[in-house]
Chains A and B, each alone.
Chain A
Amino acid sequence: MNSKYRLGIDAGGTFTDFVLAERAGGSRLYKALSTPSDPTLAIRNGLGLIAEDLGVDLEEIIPNCDLCINGTTVGLNALIQHKGARTGLICTAGHEDSIEIRNGHKEDGYRYDAEYPPAVMLVPRNLRKGVRERVLSNGTIRTPINEEDVRAACRAFIEEGIESVAISFVWSVLQPEHERRAAEIVREMMPDVPLTLGSDLYPQVREYTRTSTAITNAYLAPILKRYVTAVDAYFRSLGATSPVRYFQSNGGLAIGQLMADRSVYAINSGPASAPKAGLHVCAPFEDQNVITVDMGGTSFDITLTHEGVTNLNKNIDFLRYRIGVPMIQVETLGAGGGSIGWIDDMGLLQMGPQSAGSDPGPACYGRGGTEPTTTDVNLVLGYLCPGGLVGGRLPLDRAKAEEAIRSRIAEPLNISLEKAAYGMFTIVNANMVNGIRRVSIERGYDPRDFVLVCAGGATGAHISAIAREMGISRIIVPKLASGLCAFGQIISDVKYNHMATCPVRLDNDEAYARVNGLFRQLEEDGTRQLRQDGFTDENIRITRSLEMRYLGQVHECTVEVDSFDITAETVERLKDAFHRRHEQLYTYAEPASTVEVVNIESTLYGVVGKPDDAVLSKGGDSDGALKGTRMAIFSSSGEFTRTPVYDGTRLGAGDHITGPAIIEETTTTIVVEPGWAAELHESGSYVLQRQHQG
């Protein structure tokens, strides 16, 4: 392929990032304000910037891209704000409430207070319709489906203006016939309504997980469908040579049709590319323990990679909804450049989780915002250039920032403007530190064993303060930090999870044949799909995993294996892998006990070639990049320190800067606190090292 470019577009709460990578090496980053009410508008605006910058028409750029990749937050936003489609559920009579009983569980220990209400139901009780039908645990039909019940449900749905329907029956995973029949009836009566079947979407044992996953999917499907239809059409109109790929929460790419059908795979896709990007920028330093932190306008996302491996979660609660399908583990909190500072009932200063977003945005944007935000704080502390963000495209108004902090925080607390600003800075940092603790310390990892990788436009101002609080001594800040997730997307592969349930004891030839047959079928289906998408066999990679357990156990261990036929001989390899995994996790194995398989999964990758990395030319003297000095605050005393400011775009490989200092890149500003030093590496990343323990 002789395409010149690859394009990655990552929509965040405030900015949409555009990374245009050249095949020959080197990437350009562009940013446009996100437009949540019409997400495709931000894409148009951003592409306009690219065309303007390169001085050519989009019709020349887009056809020259081998891939255009888009990470979208439309699904996530709809789920957070409970603004998904009006959804109805058709389920087994008697089990309408399993989604609200939620396994009878309250997540949070002894806690039972006013700030901890029950989860909001995506499908309220009156829109969950039971159908008389029943499949038993051995897969046989005990009660045939009552079709009139399905029709009655549809009539009620039509009357209620239902926009999307989920169907999930008990044991449909063993016998999908009833779900399929119900689907036919729904299609007949509600031909335009998207339909999600539990047995299609998540064919694994566990009714509650399957139903919840199906409901979440149905709730988001119309929204994702609207979105990908618009984006696909726009890129086609620009002459795109292959379909737009969308980034999924499993860390891989998918085409638009699949994204619309399996919209639950979209819910946390934005930050899911961070681990891949984090490992990539750390590769020159051979760091395999990486924490990525990404502070955008609205939220702060954290991922942790230990010894090169990032956890993939299945069957977890996400935003309090049980999701079965695999997702990269991401911790998200409401702390961003737009997070608003406020004073609570007890007179304590708080930051977020409310955000000024991009409209009106922080007070200093001068778009009518009057609430003091993190960005206003960074401006008043002297960290940000008053000349503006994004290379001056977004000028900042210091007077408005000061006024917001003074009137909302400093005066009510009766402290100076500078002290108020540093206090707000400290609190937003503490919130982020607590988030990092949750993914590291609370899971048994010592953050001091990790490198902190800085992603997101707003993170650079906080990164050395966060590292200081966590006791972390090494930070990597890529020049592309602000668009790191978009960059992670363009180095990712197409990835589809294909699952099946297959409860057999591993002690007979019939069982082996069944597992082999199912794997083959999953992989044939998956391969066909990837071939249609233009992949050839040498670019298709397949991994297998089996969920196994000892007879009588109810939960499974996931065992990853390579592709081989299971026979009376090779089954020992499988069992050994399981015994080893069990012992590794739980300290013991029971080699004499019978082993059974429950669920199987094949992951199919369509491997895409990666653009080359650029190499920075050697620098010489960092003084050449010195732009001037700015008064900045680095302590709670609120005192100003004269601080050198460097133009990052004029620094070369090997250039060294000692803190306190501020490095201004086009789309991010890095604050090097006193006690830290930064060095620019030829791969295009700054390495910040702590100089002494303090």
Chain B
Amino acid sequence: MEQTVGKPERSQQAKIDPITLSVVRGILETTQREMTLSLEKTARSSVFNLAHDYSTALFNATPEMILQGQDIPIHLGSLIPAMKVIADYFGDDIHEGDLILHNDPAYGGSHAIDTCMYKPVFYEGKLVYWTVCKGHLTDIGGPVPAGYNPEAKEIYAECLRIPPVKIWDRGKPRHDVLNMILTNMRARRDQEGDFNALIGACQVGERNLIRMLEKYGAEQVDACVDELLAMAERQMRSLIRTVPDGTYEGTAVLEDAGHGFGDFDITAKVTIEDDSCHIEISSPPQIPYFINSYEGNSYSGVYLGLMMFAQLPPPYNEGLYRCVSVNMGPKGTLCNAQEPAPHMNCTTTPMETLTDAVRLAFEKAMPSKVAASWGHANGLNIAGWDTRHDEEYVTMVLATIISGAGATPQQDGWHACGPECCFGALTSGDVELLEHSYPIIIHRYSLMTDSGGAGLYRGGSGTAWEVEPLDSDMTFIMFGEGRRLPALGAAGAGSQMTDTKVGRLELKRDGKVETIRDNTIGVIKPGETVTNMNPGGGGYGDPMQRPVDKVLADVKLGLVSLEGARRDYGVVIEDAGSLRVDLDATRKLRAA
């Protein structure tokens, strides 16, 4: 099953006014940003409005993605196949005023809680564009609040599946369909508000695009859009041309986070030939646990690995992938799952391991260009009763998955801007806004000492988030991994002190602390807390080569402990008060 996304096309030689080209590009980018802003400002769910766990994109009538927003990478790759499935499904039954809703992974979706809204844009009676957005709702029905059900053996036990369905038909809302969907979801008021926000964002996009067509005319705009696609294609091709021809293989290990099936290998084989690139994925058979990835989602993982490596400047659109072909492996495998595989955790697990495998293959091809792995997502969903408003609350807490970024050949990794699958696009949300939205007390949100991977350049620190329910019981639901295997370093980096580099959950109850490393569902009461800790990023290069003064500076800032300095970097510091380095002992330890 091989697929090349989009078809290669030579740049149109029609004369394009360079200023208009710039203007069109600017309008497309602004349109997408305004859609994003509109979602952020209007949504009810904190996953949208505080955490930016949504994405928007524009497609032409083909439909090719003509603008990939710089939002969540994991959402955007999968929108490319999903949009094509939607257009195929309705064929010529697409009309002005239609709005299509969809979340199902078997129809090109990522995970079902990421709900997509598609609005066909018509101009002078003709379908010209699609404005599309995708956002992580707070709930999607099913037995467990917030959708993540580690007990699910099948997708049917996870969520309400929504295949492509029209919620507006030629401008007329289908209240019966919407009501059926909302009836199946918790916290209905929030979900209803979020559907409005998704629709609003699509309309904001439509408004701008129509204005652009009215001003510049469809013909001129089309020529510009084609040129923008061709520009992205040329950029990617010339980058790939710099990578030596050959086949490179990367294998990353996906840890067993409590399902009992053991660790798995995911392998990416990257073949470079002149200016094109073929990526072949192999993964084990799918399992009855929520970490299977359907094909659409796996595209995101592969494209992210490629984009992390490529570091190309905009424009970002489907042209980037014209010279990239991907084979996701046989149906029924972990990275090319089929019904009835449960999947809810897939946007982080196994997606980030898949991204690592692609990254590792590129590391072999060009070790001087690649960055270390970022911390993987390992986080919490919370749910309970909000006595302040006498209503149910449920949400994913994205503050809990903000991990450390990987180091690069030039600098230390950024603190607190992961996880890998989001590449810095998420935000944690302000502590006051979170406490305003949910009946919780956040006791701690901080960087964690010794969490960044050791290296000549250190990985960024991960974060710890400690929560107590305000006045009634709270359910916490753990998801993700990265609690046993630290983020991968690059170019010979590695840590001796690994227990602080990985994620974990600490439950404080009756003066005792329990550490949990498997995906678990639990309940805590006021007076009890859980602290979710997530991993730091991987380091780059040999930690014994890291200059002593840099290690000392990290110690002074509390990012590395005295023990960490000694074990990870071979730097012996006499005591915390004086911070004097024992140079003799350091030399000996580093030489050993």
Q: Is B truly associated with A?
A: yes
> Which residues of A191-225 are within 8 A (CB) of B?
205-209
Stretch at the interface among B36-44, B291-299, B359-367, B495-503: B36-44
User: When the two chains form their complex, are residues A98 and B431 in contact, meaning their CB atoms are under 8 A apart?
Assistant: yes
User: When the two chains form their complex, are residues A103 and B558 in contact, meaning their CB atoms are under 8 A apart?
Assistant: no
Select one of A125, A587, A590 contacting B558, CB under 8 A.
Answer: A125
Stretch at the interface among A111-119, A253-261, A511-519, A569-577: A111-119
> Which residues of B404-460 are within 8 A (CB) of A?
405, 408-411, 414-417, 423-433, 435-437, 441-447, 460
A106 to B414, CA, bound (A): 9
Residue B64 lies at the interface, judged by CB distance under 8 Å to chain A: no
User: When the two chains form their complex, are residues A205 and B432 in contact, meaning their CB atoms are under 8 A apart?
Assistant: yes
User: When the two chains form their complex, are residues A441 and B22 in contact, meaning their CB atoms are under 8 A apart?
Assistant: yes
User: When the two chains form their complex, are residues B417 and A553 in contact, meaning their CB atoms are under 8 A apart?
Assistant: no
Residue B557 lies at the interface, judged by CB distance under 8 Å to chain A: yes
With a cutoff of 8 Å between Cβ atoms, the chain A residues found around residue B398 in the complex are 104
Residue B200 lies at the interface, judged by CB distance under 8 Å to chain A: yes
Select one of B34, B189, B432 contacting A170, CB under 8 A.
Answer: B432
Residue B204 lies at the interface, judged by CB distance under 8 Å to chain A: yes
Residue B30 lies at the interface, judged by CB distance under 8 Å to chain A: yes
A582 to B312, CA, bound (A): 36
A170 to B444, CA, bound (A): 11
A316 to B417, CA, bound (A): 18
A124 to B399, CA, bound (A): 22
User: When the two chains form their complex, are residues A550 and B193 in contact, meaning their CB atoms are under 8 A apart?
Assistant: yes
User: When the two chains form their complex, are residues B416 and A126 in contact, meaning their CB atoms are under 8 A apart?
Assistant: no
Q: A112-B311, A125-B557, A136-B470 are in contact. Are A587 and B371 (CB under 8 A)?
A: no
User: When the two chains form their complex, are residues B402 and A104 in contact, meaning their CB atoms are under 8 A apart?
Assistant: yes
- Among the interface residues B43, B307, B417, which one has the most CB atoms of the partner chain A within 10 A? B417
User: When the two chains form their complex, are residues A437 and B431 in contact, meaning their CB atoms are under 8 A apart?
Assistant: no
Residue B70 lies at the interface, judged by CB distance under 8 Å to chain A: yes
User: When the two chains form their complex, are residues B73 and A110 in contact, meaning their CB atoms are under 8 A apart?
Assistant: yes
Interface string of B545-561 (1 = CB under 8 A from A): 00000000000111100
User: When the two chains form their complex, are residues A587 and B203 in contact, meaning their CB atoms are under 8 A apart?
Assistant: yes
User: When the two chains form their complex, are residues A554 and B50 in contact, meaning their CB atoms are under 8 A apart?
Assistant: yes
- Among the interface residues B44, B70, B431, B441, which one has the most CB atoms of the partner chain A within 10 A? B431
Residue B146 lies at the interface, judged by CB distance under 8 Å to chain A: no
User: When the two chains form their complex, are residues B431 and A170 in contact, meaning their CB atoms are under 8 A apart?
Assistant: yes
Q: A112-B408, A137-B435 are in contact. Are A104 and B203 (CB under 8 A)?
A: no
User: When the two chains form their complex, are residues B470 and A442 in contact, meaning their CB atoms are under 8 A apart?
Assistant: no
Interface string of B390-410 (1 = CB under 8 A from A): 000000001100100100111
User: When the two chains form their complex, are residues B42 and A586 in contact, meaning their CB atoms are under 8 A apart?
Assistant: yes
Residue A446 lies at the interface, judged by CB distance under 8 Å to chain B: yes
A205 to B430, CA, bound (A): 9
With a cutoff of 8 Å between Cβ atoms, the chain B residues found around residue A170 in the complex are 431-432
A281 to B29, CA, bound (A): 33
User: When the two chains form their complex, are residues B204 and A444 in contact, meaning their CB atoms are under 8 A apart?
Assistant: no
With a cutoff of 8 Å between Cβ atoms, the chain A residues found around residue B49 in the complex are 553-555
Residue A94 lies at the interface, judged by CB distance under 8 Å to chain B: yes
With a cutoff of 8 Å between Cβ atoms, the chain B residues found around residue A586 in the complex are 38, 41-42, 197, 200-201, 204
With a cutoff of 8 Å between Cβ atoms, the chain B residues found around residue A587 in the complex are 38, 200, 203-204, 207
Interface string of A102-136 (1 = CB under 8 A from B): 11111011111110011000001110000000101
User: When the two chains form their complex, are residues A142 and B311 in contact, meaning their CB atoms are under 8 A apart?
Assistant: no
Residue B466 lies at the interface, judged by CB distance under 8 Å to chain A: yes
With a cutoff of 8 Å between Cβ atoms, the chain B residues found around residue A134 in the complex are 441
User: When the two chains form their complex, are residues A100 and B415 in contact, meaning their CB atoms are under 8 A apart?
Assistant: yes
Residue A585 lies at the interface, judged by CB distance under 8 Å to chain B: yes
Residue B316 lies at the interface, judged by CB distance under 8 Å to chain A: yes
Residue A95 lies at the interface, judged by CB distance under 8 Å to chain B: yes
A503 to B424, CA, bound (A): 31
Q: A105-B427, A118-B415 are in contact. Are A442 and B29 (CB under 8 A)?
A: yes
User: When the two chains form their complex, are residues B416 and A102 in contact, meaning their CB atoms are under 8 A apart?
Assistant: yes
Residue A552 lies at the interface, judged by CB distance under 8 Å to chain B: yes
Interface string of B1-26 (1 = CB under 8 A from A): 00000000000000000010011001
Chain A residue with the shortest CB-CB distance to B448: A97
Q: Give A607 Cβ to nearest chain B Cβ, in Å.
A: 33
Q: Give A314 Cβ to nearest chain B Cβ, in Å.
A: 13
With a cutoff of 8 Å between Cβ atoms, the chain A residues found around residue B443 in the complex are 94
User: When the two chains form their complex, are residues B557 and A443 in contact, meaning their CB atoms are under 8 A apart?
Assistant: no
Q: Give A54 Cβ to nearest chain B Cβ, in Å.
A: 48
A557 to B409, CA, bound (A): 43
A126 to B26, CA, bound (A): 43
A687 to B364, CA, bound (A): 61
With a cutoff of 8 Å between Cβ atoms, the chain A residues found around residue B26 in the complex are 437, 440-442, 444
Chain A residue with the shortest CB-CB distance to B26: A441
A114 to B414, CA, bound (A): 11
Residue B308 lies at the interface, judged by CB distance under 8 Å to chain A: yes
Q: Give the number of residues in A that approach B within 8 Å (Cβ atoms).
A: 61
A94 to B52, CA, bound (A): 24
Residue B524 lies at the interface, judged by CB distance under 8 Å to chain A: no
Residue A471 lies at the interface, judged by CB distance under 8 Å to chain B: yes
User: When the two chains form their complex, are residues B433 and A205 in contact, meaning their CB atoms are under 8 A apart?
Assistant: yes
User: When the two chains form their complex, are residues B559 and A206 in contact, meaning their CB atoms are under 8 A apart?
Assistant: no
Residue A96 lies at the interface, judged by CB distance under 8 Å to chain B: yes
Q: A170-B432, A209-B430 are in contact. Are A106 and B417 (CB under 8 A)?
A: yes
Residue B137 lies at the interface, judged by CB distance under 8 Å to chain A: no
Chain B residue with the shortest CB-CB distance to A119: B414
Q: A470-B19, A554-B49 are in contact. Are A101 and B428 (CB under 8 A)?
A: yes
Chain B residue with the shortest CB-CB distance to A137: B435
User: When the two chains form their complex, are residues B316 and A110 in contact, meaning their CB atoms are under 8 A apart?
Assistant: yes
Residue B114 lies at the interface, judged by CB distance under 8 Å to chain A: no
User: When the two chains form their complex, are residues B446 and A103 in contact, meaning their CB atoms are under 8 A apart?
Assistant: no
Residue B542 lies at the interface, judged by CB distance under 8 Å to chain A: no
Q: A104-B416, A446-B23 are in contact. Are A137 and B432 (CB under 8 A)?
A: yes
> Which residues of A162-179 are within 8 A (CB) of B?
170-171, 173
Residue A285 lies at the interface, judged by CB distance under 8 Å to chain B: no
User: When the two chains form their complex, are residues A105 and B424 in contact, meaning their CB atoms are under 8 A apart?
Assistant: yes
Residue B215 lies at the interface, judged by CB distance under 8 Å to chain A: yes
Q: Give A511 Cβ to nearest chain B Cβ, in Å.
A: 16
With a cutoff of 8 Å between Cβ atoms, the chain B residues found around residue A138 in the complex are 388
> Which residues of A10-51 are within 8 A (CB) of B?
none
Residue B478 lies at the interface, judged by CB distance under 8 Å to chain A: no
With a cutoff of 8 Å between Cβ atoms, the chain B residues found around residue A555 in the complex are 40-42, 49
Chain B residue with the shortest CB-CB distance to A556: B41
Residue B520 lies at the interface, judged by CB distance under 8 Å to chain A: no
With a cutoff of 8 Å between Cβ atoms, the chain B residues found around residue A173 in the complex are 432
With a cutoff of 8 Å between Cβ atoms, the chain B residues found around residue A582 in the complex are 42
User: When the two chains form their complex, are residues A126 and B447 in contact, meaning their CB atoms are under 8 A apart?
Assistant: no
User: When the two chains form their complex, are residues A114 and B411 in contact, meaning their CB atoms are under 8 A apart?
Assistant: yes
Q: A101-B416, A126-B556 are in contact. Are A585 and B436 (CB under 8 A)?
A: no
Chain A residue with the shortest CB-CB distance to B559: A125
With a cutoff of 8 Å between Cβ atoms, the chain A residues found around residue B31 in the complex are 444
User: When the two chains form their complex, are residues A444 and B408 in contact, meaning their CB atoms are under 8 A apart?
Assistant: no
A113 to B408, CA, bound (A): 8
Residue A588 lies at the interface, judged by CB distance under 8 Å to chain B: yes
With a cutoff of 8 Å between Cβ atoms, the chain A residues found around residue B247 in the complex are none
Residue B27 lies at the interface, judged by CB distance under 8 Å to chain A: yes
With a cutoff of 8 Å between Cβ atoms, the chain A residues found around residue B371 in the complex are 112
With a cutoff of 8 Å between Cβ atoms, the chain A residues found around residue B56 in the complex are none
User: When the two chains form their complex, are residues A112 and B405 in contact, meaning their CB atoms are under 8 A apart?
Assistant: yes
With a cutoff of 8 Å between Cβ atoms, the chain A residues found around residue B34 in the complex are 444
Chain A residue with the shortest CB-CB distance to B189: A552
User: When the two chains form their complex, are residues A552 and B193 in contact, meaning their CB atoms are under 8 A apart?
Assistant: yes
A113 to B406, CA, bound (A): 11
A-B residue pairs in contact (CB < 8 Å), sample of 13: A94-B444, A98-B431, A98-B445, A101-B402, A104-B416, A105-B425, A112-B424, A113-B311, A124-B557, A126-B556, A173-B432, A206-B430, A586-B197
Across the A-B interface, give the 8 residue pairs with the lowest CB-CB distance, nearest first.
A106-B424, A109-B70, A441-B26, A114-B410, A94-B444, A104-B402, A104-B428, A587-B203
Chain B interface residues toward A at CB < 8 A: 19, 22-23, 26-27, 29-31, 34, 38, 40-44, 46, 49-50, 52, 70, 73, 189-190, 193, 196-197, 199-201, 203-204, 207-208, 215, 307-308, 311-312, 314, 316, 371, 388, 398-399, 402, 405, 408-411, 414-417, 423-433, 435-437, 441-447, 460, 463, 466, 470, 556-559
